[in-house]
């Protein structure tokens, strides 16, 4: 989340009210995650800008970079306004 907020601030974006919920899917015994990812919700006047900011944050995120090769990750974006 901090990478996304930094990208928004640096670009003086009009994106506001950012919320991220991380969801995961579990399988097996012992239980382990096999997929999931973040669901982003924000007030944003421009969908392309929001997508670009999320992509920038995703590339710089240690968690996403660590899990990308191990799990099936899906990034979901929901926009209001």
Residues 26-51 have pLDDT tens digits of 999 999 988 999 999 999 999 999 99
> What's the CA gap between 18 and 21, in Å, rounded?
10
> Cα–Cα distances in Å, from 45 out to 11, 50, 74?
14, 9, 23
User: Per-residue pLDDT tens for 13-23?
Assistant: 999 999 999 99
Triad 11, 58, 51: Cα angle to 5°: 55
Alpha carbon 27 to chain centroid, angstroms: 22
We find that the CATH architecture of domain 2-80 is: 2-Layer Sandwich (3.30)
How sure is the predictor about 81, in pLDDT bands with cuts at 50, 70 and 90? low
Secondary-structure percent of the chain, ordered helix, strand, coil, rounded to 5: 35, 40, 25
């Amino acid at each position: 989340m901090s990478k996304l907020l930094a990208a928004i601030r640096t670009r003086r974006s009009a994106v506001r009210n950012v919320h991220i919920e991380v969801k995961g899917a579990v399988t097996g015994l012992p239980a382990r995650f096999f997929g999931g990812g973040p669901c982003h919700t924000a007030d944003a006047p421009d969908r392309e800008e929001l997508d670009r900011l999320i992509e920038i944050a995703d590339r710089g995120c240690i968690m996403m970079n660590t899990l990308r090769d191990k799990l099936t990750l899906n990034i979901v974006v929901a926009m209001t306004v």
